[in-house]
Each structure stands twice: as structure tokens, then as C-alpha cells.
Structure 1
Amino acid sequence: MKKSTFLWVFMCCMVGTLFAQTPAELSEIQAAKADQQMSVNLQELMTRLDNVGDTSMPLTNFFTANELQVLRSYSRPQSANRLADIIPTAGATESFSPVVGDFIYDPSDGVNGGPGGDCSTTSSGDLGDYPNCDCITVTTFNAPPGEEISVTFNSFRVFGAFDWFAIFDGSGPVTATNGSGSATNPTSGDPELWNSSVDGDELVDMINAGMTTFTSTSGSLTFASRFSGVVNTCGWEAEVVPAGGGGGGGITTPTVFGYEAVSEMYGSFDPVAPEVFTAISMGAADGTSLELTGDVDPNNPTTAYVSTTTPNFYSMDIETGVYTLIGPQALTFIGTSFDPTSGILYGYASDANLYTIDLATGAGTLVGPTGNTGLADLAITGDGDAYGHDLAADQIVSIDLTTGTATPIGPTGFNANFAQGMTWDPNSDTVFLASFNAANFLAEWRSVDLTTGATTIVGNINDPNVSEVTWAGIPFVPPMNDDCSGAVAMDCGDVETGDTNDFSDTGGFNASPDAWYSYTGSGDPEFITFSLCDGGTTYDSRLTVFDSCGGAQVVSNDDSCGLQSEVSFLSDGTTTYYVAVEGFGTTSAGPYSLELSCNPVAANDLCDDAIEIACGDVVAGSTNFATIDTAAGSCAGQDITAAGVWYTYTESIPGFIQDINLSTCDDADYDTKISVYSGDCGTLTCVAANDDGNGCSGFTSSVDFQSDGVSTYYILVHGFGTATGNFNLTMTCSPVPPPNDMIANSIDVDEIGFPYTDPAVNMPGATTEAGTPADCDNAGVQGVWYNFVPEMGGEATATVTSPAGYTSVTFYTADTEDSVETDLTLVDYFDNQCVPGADASILVTAGQVYYVYVANTMGVTDIVIDGDFYLGTGDTEIAGFNYYPNPATDQLNLSSGTGTIESAIIYNILGQEVVSREIGSNNAQLDVANLSVGTYILKVVVDGELGIYKIVKQ
């Protein structure tokens, strides 16, 4: 038998000698007080404690509650872990804000008071005795905001004849007279918790009243004391201990359930902060016999099974503490534990053998001898490994569940005695001891190192009361986010890890275990990606997103990166979305690492937000974070089935016509499409589209169209099927040269008539010349050509109506109307000087061939060529002939009154016949719908007379 170690510190309350300064004072003292004998004798308690030896039986088999409190109170100061000492100033009114672990002492005058003192007598001369200051001291102790303060007295004595001590629940002012105490001295507006003049002036009085611990309800406690100038004694020592807390009321966080034998109550405490033990029910299962052991059923975590000293076997509801008798047991079980892997309840009996226990009857079936007679309890881990607490040797042992054999691992590091609890916490995968430390008379909650046997104290159970937990069990508490309603909120960039083996099936896509997370947007639409692809997920997973708990499925994915999952969807910016992390199969579960990434919707996701693009641009883009634009409609056979982004193009030179190529050819990482529209967003008109461009690899695209120089074009880059990805969009523009860009296509103006206007000439598209005329070098100049032969002498002019960039107008002479540049000679005239300018004029000679070269590099413009009457009269009109409308769109109506229209011919500005018709009546309609926009010449013959008219097609 090992020797029980206990700190032999005790105070003998014997009749003491009172020292007074005068006979009158001595007489008053002796008359007012006879020293009290403690109702329990500490020396006798110490002897009995030492005689108990090693036992796994509860403390209450050997001591009464009062005796236990005395033992506890006198041992506590020696084993306390002090944080700070608070020593008030004698005669002062002060406030302090202590924390748990601080110690509060009687006031000091700088010589006497504070720690120490002799509580067995008066006027001992010990400097720790409070001072003879003839003063009143008021000290308030404040808890942090919203909390309470609780103090436990380890020692206490004042000299009741003259001195007094009171405790008030609050921080209000105290009124007192500097004289002997009474029920009304001191007083306060706050509730009085203790008054030494009424309730007693020694620790034993507090013990007998069950009030060694005082807890505020107002956030503050106030100590008020009066010390005379006559006699002193030890004063007090009080420790600040945890206040409030508790468990019960539904298992939502990891909680230890067990039986506390000293108070004969079943209850619970926090495995992280065990100081507060919350009663759930009072009394043992049998009412008279004690509960030696018990454990929570891992397959039914609201039920525990308990064995008593009777011995009887019970089941119980751990949340209510209601017991149900199953039946008597033939064996007395000291320790029991469930194997979480099999659901079998094992028990260590008083015969030192290991048994399995039938839950239906309580009957034990022998497994085998442990070879150890000192075990106090068992614990079996989630791996099915069993361990025991060897009380006699203060060590941890491993136990073979197939044979019962116990094998030592190592010492626990403390002196355990009496009943002990032991359990495995499935929430933290830790074995704990609900131990009773005989060295300091404390019930302690200790974690166990299963490789060495060493234990680490977490905290004192039910501190500061004398407690002894004979069995403890911790049910598995599914994580808060086992259910959608408890989903863990995530932010962009967060990574959450876990293991779905710790979860149950509460919905989701299938019946596999699911962990729930949520995300609420910042107010703006964005693309959300939940991913299990970072390597931290090691099982065949599935992700499913819902728009609310129990709501509609938004998206789901099984395999995105191997057997792991990833989902992306568009958040509306306000909805809270819920994602279930689960498995492909109903039994698929394992470790996971869930990453949340957020990306704003592409800036040019909508047509209205199209990004401008210009000729020569190469723009990088992506459709990964864009939406599908089905409202734009199919274009040139290309349907819109994938997300796309928008670009827009408007010619910077109004009216400048160009051939446009838009391409992702060989420059995208997905199967692209390009669709081009004109019009306005919402009323788009298809212009051109392409899926797979000729010669383009990777199913990339290239589309061509001709701009009209006026319209705004909208370009949608999208994908085939549902494809999305990254691309570079290249825009290449090729200016469209005017019809008369080359001298060979010079417009023969005199075939049309004067004044002649060439409307909206696409001048920026003009090219340079093949040669240079004599006397005027136009090398590098981009221009267009006109020619005429005057019938008579006169003056000719040419004008650019909208000059832009480099502008020039130059007249040349030539021998024929089919000349080339090098055949030409500059007309030598003051207003035709081969210099930049928007107009020029010359004098003409009848029959001479003239060419006009016009440049206007940066703008579309009308070009007007005119002359005086020597060059003709313009339209040649026939009396009574009319044509309308002019301009015409689809049809030109002709009417000659009573005359007969014999024929009608329309020429373009190059003199080419584009419409010709023999008529033979006084009315006719000419179809001009297929003519290009521009100016034309109409020649009609009415009754043999020729008429020439200028018409405009719009």
C-alpha cells in the first residue's frame, strides 16, 4: 500500500490567552467572547485520511460533507496557483479589478496585515495578523463588464469582541461606526452576504453555513472591516474563482457528463473549463448506493449506462438525468467504457477481470484477467485501443481487449486516490482523467499522454467545492455545421478544413455525410467558386450549392479534378448560398479542404458595358466570369450557348468605310465564337459571325465584315457549347478605296453633267499613285481622280467641302481620257499651284482633256466640280417631264404628260449603265432598290427629245 500524501497544515482552535492593555478591556473581552472549538477536529480527520490508504471507493464512504469541506479548505492555500496578491490599505476606501487566480488578503498598514497570520489565537505577534489600526477599511472588487466575481475563503478569523467584517453584493457606499459590530453596523444599500457580528467570525462558521464561496449578482463585491486598537488575529485569505457558467439544456458543444459523489448529483461541465459543475439531477441512481462507473453510448449519444455499488445496472438520459433500471449485476464494476469501433461496453470488475457487458441485462461475459488489481477506470479510443488508470501505482496502462491483459505505459505524475473517472473525448480525440488528487484534496480534470502516461492538468472540477467525479463520459457532438442551419460562413479567400467522417447526413445531394458552409455576397454580382482541388481532399467528393437551407439546387459537381469537386456559379450579390461538402457515394467520407474564391463579373459582361476596340488593337479578355447573352439572338447561324463578353467599334472618321477582321485565331485557350451586330443593345441586328475560322487551330475564330463608317458595331466573343476561357481579340482594318482611287477609274464628269458632286467620298481609303505627273510631284499622296473635256472655253473649279488631314486639289492636262499619271501636265494657273488647299480653279480650253486630282487624307467628304456656262448647263430638261421622288429609295416614278417616253437609262458616276429600259408610254416606274447609295445620271428620250437629270439614291 502506498502512503497517502497530504499537506500537514492544520490550525488547532484552542482556548487562547487574550492580551489587553487594561483590566477593564480584558474583562470586556472575556465577557464578550469565549473562543470556539471547531465542530470537527482536523487532527482526527488527518489521521483517518492517512488510514484510508489506496482505494477506488468514493470519498463519501469515509467522510461527511462537512469533514470534506474542512479538509479542502485547509489544504487549498497550500496547493493554490497564485496569480497576484491583493492587499488593501488599512483605513482606505479602494477598488480593484481582480482576475481568476488572484488572492485577496486582509488590509495592511505597512507593518501588519496581508498574507500570513495565526488563526489559532489572538495577538500572536505574527506580522501577518491584521493591524491594530482603529480604522474602517472598505474595498470593492469589480468583475469585467457583463461578468460576475466569485471568491472562496481559505482562511478567516476576526476578533469578534471589537472587530467585524462584512461582505456586500455591489459597489455602493458603506456606512459604519468605528465601534463594535452588530446587525446594523456596517450597512449598505446593497444586499449583505455576510456579517461576522451575526453570521460568525471564523472559517468554520462559513463552512457550517455552506458559504465559503461568495458570488456577486451585480458585478461587484465589497468587503468592509473594522480593526480596533486592542487585539488582532489572522484576518483572511480569499481566492478569486470562476463565476457562473454551466452546461445542460441540449448537447450543442463538447460537454462532460458524470456523477459527482460528494454532492450526490449528476451533472455536466466544460472539458476546457471544468471549474463549474452544473447539476442536472440530484441523488444517485439507486437513491442510496453510489455510482461507481458509467459511460455514454457512442451509438446513442444521449444515453449513458451506469453501474452502482448495489450493484445495479441502469440506462439514463444524459440530458435530463432520468435513470431506468435494467437489472441487478452479479459483479461490482469499478470502471466501464464503450469501444466506439464496435459499440461493445467493457467493464473492469472488483475481481480484477475484464468483461463485456450486455446492455439489455447488465450481465458480464469474461474476457480475461487484467493482472492488475489497482485499476480505477477505463477508456477506449476511437481506434479501439483500451487504457486504464492504475490507482495503486499512479500509472496509465494499456489493455488488450481480446485477453484483458494490462501493460504499464508510464506514471501519471500525481498522487491519485479514491474514485476516479476516465474517458475518451471523441471530439478532440483525447483521453481525460476525472481524478481526485490526494495531495491537494482537489478534483482535477487531466489530459493523458497515451505514449508516456503523463497527465496534464486542465483545471479543477467544480472548484472551489470538494468534489469527486466517479465517472465521466463525453458524447460526440457533431460540428455546428453538420446541419445547414449551422453552416459556417466563409469569406472570399477562406480555406476551411475538416473530415466528413465527423459529420452526419442532414440533406445535401445524397445520403453521404455532409459539412455545410455558406457565403453571402457583398452586394454586387460576382462569380463564386467552391473548390476541393487544393490537394487537401483525399476522398471521392461532391459539392452541391443551394440558394437557401432546403431551397433550390444552384449547382452540383462530382469530379472536377480527379475524384475531387469544384463548382462555380453567379452570385446575385445578396443571396446567402449554402454548400454541402459530401461524398460521391453514400458511404464516401474523409478529410477535405474547401477553398472559396470570388471574382467580379467581367466588366464587359453586358452589351451596355461593351469595351471600345479600335483598328490595330489586340485586347486580352476572358469569358470565365461572364454570363450567357441569349437575348442578342443567333447570328449567321451561330447560336449563343456559352458565356460571352462585349466589345464595341465606331469609326473615328465619320463615314470612313473599312473592311474589318476580328480574330481569336490561334490565340485562345478554348473553342471560341465571334458574333458581330449593329444597332443598339436590346435591338441588335446581325452583321456577321464565325465559329471556326479557316486555318485557325484549336477551334478559334475569325470573322470579316465591312463597316459603313457610320454605324456602331457590337462584338460578342463567346464559345461553342458551354466553353469559356481566355483569348486575345485582334482587330484588323483595311480601308476601302473609293471607286476612282486609280486614274484608270477616273470619273468622267462631263458624261454626268455640271455642277457635279461626288458625295461622301471615302478619302482616307485612297491609295498612293503609281507615277508622278510633270511639274507636280504627288508621290505618297493618297487621292482620287476625275476627268472632263469642255465643249467651250471657260473656268473650272474643284472643291473639297469637308477638308481633313492633308487636303489638295490639282488640275492637269492630258492628251487622252485614258492617260496615266506620267502623261499629265500641271495646268499653269495662279489658282492651281500644286500646294495644299481645299479648292483650285483653272481656265479651260474647249476640247482639251483635263484631270483633277483630289486628296483629303483624314476625312470623308463631298467633292464638287463645277464650271461656268461654257462647261454646259447641268440638267437638260424636257418640258412637261417629271420624275419623283428624288432622292429615291426603291422606285423612281417617270411622267411625261401627253408625250411618250421612249427610253430611260441610269448611269453611275463612272459613266457605267446600271439601269436601262424601253418604255413606250407616258408613265413608268424604274426599280432602283438594288442600286448603291450615291449620285446617278438619268437620261430619258421623250418624243425624240433627250433629257439629262441628276438623281440621288438613298
Structure 2
Amino acid sequence: MKLSYLLAALGAATLTTLAGAQNGSDNCTTPDAIAGQGSFSFDSTLATTGPEGQSEPLCFAFGSNAVDSDVWFNWTADATGIASISTCASLLDTKIAGYPAGGCPVVAGTAIACNDDSCGVQSAIDFACTTGTAYLLQIGSFPGNVGGTGTIDIVIASSATNDDCGGAVAIAGQGTFAFSQLGASGGLEGQNEALCLFFGLSSIDNDIWYAWTPSLAGMAVISTCTASVDTKIAAHAGSGCPTPGTSIACNDDSCGLQSEVQFSVSAGSTYTLQIGTFPGSSGGAGNMEITVSPPAGNDSCALATAIAGQGVFPFDQTGSTTGADGQAETACYFFGGSMIDNDVWYDWTADASGTVAINTCTSFVDTKLAIYPGAGCPVAGSAIGCNEDSCGLQSQVFATVVAGSVYSIQVGTFPGATAGSGNLDISITGSLQADDCATPDVIAGQGTFAYNSTMATTGLEGQAEVSCYFFGSAVIDNDVWFSWTADATGQASVSTCLGAALDTKLAVYPGVGCPLDGSSLACNDDGCGLQSEVLLNVVTGTSYLLQVGNFPGTAGGAASFDILITGPVEPGTPFCFCDAVIAPCTNPGTAGNGCGNGSDPAGANLTATGNADVGADTLVFSATGLAPSQPGLYFQGINAVNGGIGIVFGDGLRCAGGDVRRLGVAFADPAGSSSTAGFASTISAKGGVSLGDLKHYQLWYRSPVGSPCGALFNLSNGYTIQW
């Protein structure tokens, strides 16, 4: 989570004059009147908690919407712009909200801003204001904390001249254009574009607008890479305010925290540019660079360059556009998207039968490759191979080919990456028997089993299993197959943890022969570093189909897997652990835990006991390593966020998401432990679970002491239950 407020940027410490003796009214029907900018004292020592403003959705934090010990002010703005109202100079654990004036907020949903912890345990809100207009301010405490005395600081920043898409500044041609987002607000337009979904958010904060007319036709590159602002930018066709769903390009982080978009343009046409920030970041000033390059000759699949045989073939994406073909292939879904940007096309004729390896590994471009049967533009869904990152940021695909047949090769870039030039290396070797689920290698019993997926292709089977969805993709690349018969009854562990340096991915299916869709018994991506381990109950003499492959985009190789049968498995599987690589503020937890907190650097650990059976649910979640005596929210989601790695959220990682259900709030005991044992309903009833559902769980807890990132909240590891 990125938290910033304009008050800090403007230097609120310069506002030293106390503007009156008002201390706030305990009743919203008689708020104390204040006006203008400055510091205003408040005293909530004897304040009660009224019924108004206690159910605002915007005020939901750490399991509660309430604002305790609240006092009220009727504030009149003395300027038009963005009002920043904060209690950052106070010592109390505050929670504040702003409403339109005109009486008590008796109807939930009327708040225009609300915040709990913005600067330590103090609060800050921003909202647009108009000269002479009054606003109702609610100044209170986090639920359970006592009131006291403090100050609220108010400043107003002027809005940017092109803060509204209806007032976009006209620019033309190529070059460097200065921009300033200071005083800009986040409007309603361009806030829900699918192309703008990055790190779980589609919104663009502090956005300003330009109406740009190119003087050349070709590929336009709009970049803020030289700026220091944490930008997010979008482009829309035409002039004026954009219609929802019409963005033609969007990017958050292309060059560090800065942004770059590329899209095809026509000379003399107008395009609307939205230049903002990542949600929660502060606006600023910088430069926007615009260039236009003419399109490549093989920019269209209908004009593909003909090549044949094996060897090295140069490619050049300079000036290429992103066409409509080959943009929604399931096999190409990596890191949250199937798109292939800046693509150029080749019609390649195979000179031998076998497995073809096509790679850009010797290039410096961040490439993405796909191969299709036949020449010309491909049929949707027909990709027989696709890859993003196999050798660093470069790509390698494998496919079974027949001598004399023609195949269409799409050479592009990862979405948002810059086009460039490089080499396409093509070679063909013999086919691999275990590469097909119809002809698996037959194995039995327990022990270590060697395999080699160096030349394995990625088949069609076992590529869309819900249980295999990790890090944005269900695909298992370079997969080889084994028909395995168990020699004992119990819990089987199938693992590449000891025998592989590869980035593996494993799945197990019942029976023999190619698996039916949705039939996987277990699947795992990163169970032990980049290697994998699955656990499942097996019966002696029964056969199971093993799919051993790689995380999408990584290369195959020679390795081994181990099979061991022991006792029963726990009701679910922990996931999303905070290691040193992903920890937001150098606060990794102990292996298997969430990120470290100020009370326990080992981090919180979420586990479960009982029976995860919808008809006989005895499941109980328990957590340790929490901040003592602080509240925590147990919640359920349908997705493993970011493929199970999670995304940074406060002092920790958000691991469970999608259709979030709040299971209940539990306070940690003095030892830092809590559980769902005292909840009135079962987990399945509270979460609306049906038989066969795959659900993900996590604990979001308050951690105000020694907060590593200053967010004052953290999360446990995730936990997956197959009901």
C-alpha cells in the first residue's frame, strides 16, 4: 500500500497559528464552526460516541467502521482546491471523516473521505472543496481508545489547470513536454479500465489530461521514465473525456516506478493522455517524452516474413504495433495477461520432423513468443506453444513439428516493454515419448525417479486446472507424464525439492490416460523455493497420473522427483510466505509465516485443525505471532493473489482475494494468539462454502507497535482449503 498526503508535501509544520478556541461539539446537530486554513484545537476527553457516522463503508479499518469519542466541526473552505485535513501533529490514536454539510450523517454512505492510520496512529484525509462551501468534520478515536486533546491542521492546494479531462491541454508532435500534477485530484473518468489493472488496482490518482495530435503515423511511445514521480499513465482514442472501456494503452511500472505506453497512431488524429500516479502516491512534476516510429514491414500477421529451416534469423520490432491477432491465447497467459505487444510475424517452414526449439535468449529485448499451425493470421486459441521468460527476460518455446509444414511465429514483447531488435534461434531435435499424457512412462512404489524435460513441449491437457492456478496462471510448461502405482496406503508426498534446480510445477490426477478437465487431485508450484511438492491420500495398488513440468515461461531440464508415503494430511495447505525477496520493509518472517511485525519479528502463522467438510464442519483457524491484545480480521477469498505470492499490503502481503468474505474479528491474547474457536457460526456457513469449493484464508491484524513500514497493520501467511 502506498500512502501519501499533500499536507506533508506542503510542510504542515509552517502552520503554527491556532485559529480559535473551538474544541469540537459532542453532538453533530450543533457542530463548532471553523473556517479557513490553519491549526484548530479539539478536545474529545469527555466526548461520547454518537450513533451518526458509525457505519460508513469508507471508514472500515481493522474490522470496524466505528469512530469512537467523536467531536464535530462545521468547516467552511476559504479557497477552491484539494483540502488536506490531518491530526498528524497530535498524540492520540485518531480516526477522522469528512461529510457534506447540511445536518448529521444519518444515512450510511455519505462520507466523502475517512481515514484511521495515515501518519503513525494519527489520521489524514483529502477531498475536493469549493470556496464558501461548508463541510462536516468528525474527529474521533480508533474503536476502544480514549479521547483526548489535539489539533487538526487544514491546508488547501489549488487544482491543476488540466485536472479535468474536459479541460485537457492541447499538445502536438514529438518531443519533451513538462507536466505538473500538484493540486490535481482523481476524477471519475479512466478509473476502471481493464488495461490499467496493476497490483490489484485499476485507478489512477492525481491525474491530469492532454489532447495530443501526432504529426506522423506509426508506433507512439509515451514515457515518464525521466521523472521522479511514481506515475501511472493511460491513452484513450479521440478527444474529450473517455468512455469507460476505451483505453488503448495503460502502464504503471515500465522503468522503475515510472511508466511507458506504446500504441499505434495516425497522423492528424487526436488521442487523450491521462498522466497520473499509482494509487496512494503523491503527485509531482516531471517530463513526458513522446516519440513516433514508422511500423515494421512484418507488423501484421497477414504480411508475415517467410523463413525456412534451422538457424539464426534476425528480427526488428522497431515501430511495430500491437495487432488484434494472438492477444488472448490461454497458453500465453503469464503474469496476469495474455497480450503480446509490439509483435512481428514470420511464416516458418520446418525442414525436419521432431521438437522445435525457438528462442530469443541471445537478445536483450524483454520478449514474448508464440507459435501457431499454418501460415498467415492464426485462429484464436490455436497456439501450440507460447513463452514469456525462459532465459532471463527472453523467451523459448517448444512444439512438435512436421517436415514441410508451415507454422506462424509471433515475436513480440512483454506487455508494456519496449520494442527492439535481436535474433531468433531455431533448432529441431527428436520427439520425447513421455511428452504426451497418452504415452506416459510407467513407474511404481516409492523412491527417486529421474526425468528430462529439456525438449518437452507444452501439451493441451492439464493446462486449465483451478488447483494449479499460481501467480496468475494455471499452465504447466514443458510437461512430462508418469503413470505411477502406489505401493502403500496413506499420505503421499511427490516432490522435486531435492532433485531439481529447475523452477518446477507438479500435478496429480486419478487413474491412467490423459486427464479430464478439473480432475486434478493436487497441484503445486513453489512448495520449497522454486521447486514443488504435492500431498495427497493414496491407496495401495491404485494408479495415478503425474504431470511434472515447469512454471510458465521457465526452461525444462534434467532433474528428479521423490515419492514418499506416510500418514494423513492436515485439512489444508499453507501458502504465501514472506521471505526476504518479497518482504516490503526488510521484515521477512520465519519460514512458513507472514511478514515480521514489531511485536514478533518471526511474523504471524496461520494454521487450521478439524474437518473441512461442509456437512460436518469442525474447522478452526488459529494464529500465533500477533501483536498482543490487538484485533484481527479472519477473511476468506476465492483467489490466491498474484498466483499465491501475494502483493504488498501495509507491513505484510495480501494473499487471499476475490469475493472476500469477512469471517469475524478476534482479539489476540497477551501472548499474541487468536483463533476462530469462539465464532458463532462454522467457517463454511460464514463463508457460504459449497462442496468442492477451493477457498483461501488469511488474518489481517492490527500491529501499532514498532510497525516496520509504518502502516500499523500486517497479515499472516495464507491457507488454502479444498472443501
When the two structures are superposed, what TM-score results if normalisation uses the length of structure 1? 0.24
When the two structures are superposed, what TM-score results if normalisation uses the length of structure 2? 0.31
Between Structure 1 and Structure 2, whose CA radius of gyration is higher?
1
